[in-house]
Structure 1
Amino acid sequence: MNNVNSRLRRARKTRAKIAELKVTRLCVHRSNGHIYAQIIAETGDKVLASASTLEAEVRKSLANGGNVAAAALIGKRIAEKAKKAGVTTVAFDRSGYKYHGRIKALAEAARENGLSF
């Protein structure tokens, strides 16, 4: 089993548990160059808010979308957008990625700006 399959297996287990709990989730995806975050409804069929380093406002302020500073900015933006959508409590879906570096920075920034998980 390679690293990608291991990550996807971990992600599948996490998503199954979150679906069982029927809670709104903060789903994170990262690539080498960018980071993406979405607030997904309890049913799993609707995106309530999203933020990524591909947004025009974010791209102007960042030289690189694949670092910890960019992840912290996306965490702040997703928390603000979630509050506008009326969401304050979420389950954190890290998509099987380890909780360190960019994933940790995004999560901590989201917590500091009003999301609880």
Structure 2
Amino acid sequence: MSSVDLIAIAIDWLDAYRAGDLLIVDCYADDASLQCDCGGKKELRCTHAIAAYWHQRFVETRAGDLIDLQWDGSDVVLHFRASDEILQAVLTFNPDGSLRRSRCALFNNQVAATGTENP
């Protein structure tokens, strides 16, 4: 059993995103990948490419309120607001607590996210 608190690391990741803090890159393993399907598909590998992505992302959109967080083994799934949209991020961790992969996309299920249906 691991003593690494993946939920706390996921919250730290989101807090860094909210703050526009490049310390978010420290969450990633050296060989990590980042997949973003927000506004066009992108898949990046290596710390330098991930840092460049986050630098641009902070300029374009910052994260807002956390809506939901779920833990499933080595994955933590977060739903949160960013601008006027709801995003889903799936964070996959290595046993040491470093991010092996992050995947984000627009979350289309407005009923689950807000409790109301869009007409």
Superposed pair shares fold, TM > 0.5: no
Task: Provide TM-score, normalisation by structure 2.
Answer: 0.31
Which structure is higher in strand share? 2
More contact order relative to length (CA 8 Å, sep ≥ 6) = 1
Task: Provide TM-score, normalisation by structure 1.
Answer: 0.31
